[in-house]
Amino acid sequence: MIDPLTAIREAFELSPTKFEALVKGFQQEYNTGLTTSSAEIATMIPSYVTRMPNGKEKGTFLALDLGGSTLRVSAVNLLGEGEVKVTEVRRAIAVADPLRTGTSDAFFDWIVEAVDELLSKINTHTPLSMGVCWSFPIDQTGISTGTILRMGKGFDIKGIEGKDLNILFQEAFKRKAINVTVTAILNDTVGTLVAHAYTHPQARIGFIYGTGVNAAYPEKVSRIQKLKNHNMGPDVEMLINTEIDIFGNESYLPLNRFDLALDATHSQPKFQLYEKMMSGAYLGELTRLASLELIASGDLFKGNIPNQFKNPWDFSSASVSILESNAVTRWEDQKVAVETLLTFENEYQLSATDLSLLIQVAHLISDRAARLAGGAMVSLLEQQKINLSETDPIVIGVNGSVYELYPQMPERIQQSLIDWFGPTISSRLQISLATEGGSIGGALIAMLYQPR
C-alpha cells in the first residue's frame, strides 16, 4: 500500500508529459482567443500598443493607476539609459467611501484633485501626457479610448457604465483647468512589459506572479483576427493582455484531488482553474488540504488538527513561504518559527518529524506552482516563434509577491525552462524582476503615444 506522503507527491507531480500538455493547451487557448471577439471571450485582449521603448527616451510623463482600494498618480522623469525618477501621490479609497457609490463627476473630480496635487508637488503646469492603468473591466477600442463596463470591487458609480473613459477624464480636467491629456489606457501586465523593456530592450514577456497571475507578450497583428480594419503592416506587433488567469480546463490541466477540493469550496467554482493551482491566493489552502490528508492518516501531528487547518482558507500562503524559508535552519529555529504559525487546542508539541513532513508538503506544492508558471512562459515563447538559433538574450520581466518573496521561486521557474529548452537555449533566457508597471509603464506608453 502506498504511504500517504508518496500519494501526495504523486498528486502534485508535473511530469514532462503533463508539462507538454500544459504548453500545448495554453497555445490552443491563445489561438482561440485571437480569433474570437472580445465580446465572446475575455482573453487575448489587444492593447493597441505597437511601439516599445529603447531606453533612450527622456522627458516627464504622468501615470495613473487605479485599483480596488488605492489611487496612485505618478510623475515619471525619463532620464535616458533606462534610468527614471518617480514622484507620486497616493490616495486610499475605503470600502465604505461614498465615492464608490456616488456620481461619475464626483469620482473623477476626486481623481483629478490627486493629479493637481502631484503637479504642484513637481512644480509644473506645462501640458503633460498621461497613461491610465484602469484595473476594472473596459472594452478598449483604441490606444486611448475604451468603454467602461461594470466596475465591480465594491464600486457602483452612477452614470459611469457605457461611457468613454478618456472623455470622462478630459471633462474632469477641463472642470479643474488642468492641462493634461490621456494618451494611453493600459493593463498593468502590458505596463510591466513596457516598463521592463525600458531597461531591457530584449523583453518579450511581461508576467505577473503574485496573489493573481497574468501575462502580456507581443503578437503579430496579422494573427489577431479579432481586430477589424487595423490598417497595419503584416509584420507589426501589438502587445496582448492574455488574461491567462482564466485559462485552463480539465482537458489539459493536471488537476488533482486537492485542486478539485479547493475549487469546490471557492465562491467561483470552475473559474480561473489554472490560477487556483499556483498563485499566491491559493498556496496556503492547497497546503492545508494536503496536510489534512497526512493528519487523517496519523502521520502528521499524531492526528491532531491545528486551529489554522480547521476552516478553509485560514492557512495563508505567507505561512507556506515561512515554512520553506526555514527548511534549512536548525531544528530549534524551525520549531520556534512554525509555532508562531500553528496552534493546538490541546497544546500538542511539534516534533522534528512533523516539521519535516510539513515542509515537504509545502515544497511539493510550491515546486509544482513554479513549474506551472514556467509552463506558461514556455508557451508564450513558443507562441512568438522566436528564432532559437540566434544568440541575443530573450528577457522575461516578472512582477509580483510570489516571484519576488517566495523562497527559491525564480530558480525553480528557471529550471523548468532548462528542462524544456535545454541548457544552451536556456542560457539566453533571462528572467528578472520587473517593477512599476502601472507607473513607469504607464508613463512610457503615454510618451510613446503623445501627439506628434
Q: Mind listing the pLDDT tens digit for each residue in 255-271?
A: 999 999 999 999 889 98
Q: What is the CATH architecture assignment of 58-186? A: 2-Layer Sandwich (3.30)
Q: Mind listing the pLDDT tens digit for each residue in 355-397?
A: 999 999 999 999 999 999 999 999 999 999 887 778 889 999 9
The residue ranges of every structural domain in the chain are 1-44+200-435, 58-186
Q: In angstroms, rounded to a whole number, what is the distance separating the alpha carbons of residues 349 and 351?
A: 7
Q: In angstroms, rounded to a whole number, what is the distance separating the alpha carbons of residues 233 and 250?
A: 38
Q: Mind listing the pLDDT tens digit for each residue in 289-329?
A: 999 999 999 999 999 999 999 999 999 999 999 988 877 67
Mean pLDDT by 10 residues, the chain (452 residues): 91 97 96 84 88 92 90 94 92 87 95 96 93 86 89 85 95 96 93 93 94 94 84 86 91 97 92 94 97 96 96 94 80 78 90 92 97 98 85 92 95 96 92 87 94 76
Q: In angstroms, rounded to a whole number, what is the distance separating the alpha carbons of residues 125 and 325?
A: 49
Q: What is the pLDDT of residue 1?
A: 67
- The residues, ordered by sequence, that sit 6+ positions from 271 with a Cβ below 8 Å of its Cβ are 246
1-44+200-435 and 58-186 have identical folds:
no
Phi, then psi, of 164 in degrees rounded to 5: -75, 125
Place of cell 530549534: 332
Contact at 8 Å (CB) between 131 and 441? Answer: yes
Contact at 8 Å (CB) between 45 and 240? Answer: yes
Q: What is the pLDDT of residue 42?
A: 79
Phi, then psi, of 448 in degrees rounded to 5: -65, -25
Q: In angstroms, rounded to a whole number, what is the distance separating the alpha carbons of residues 201 and 395?
A: 8
* pTM for this predicted structure: 0.91
Does domain 1-44+200-435 correspond to CATH entry 3.30.70.1450? Answer: no
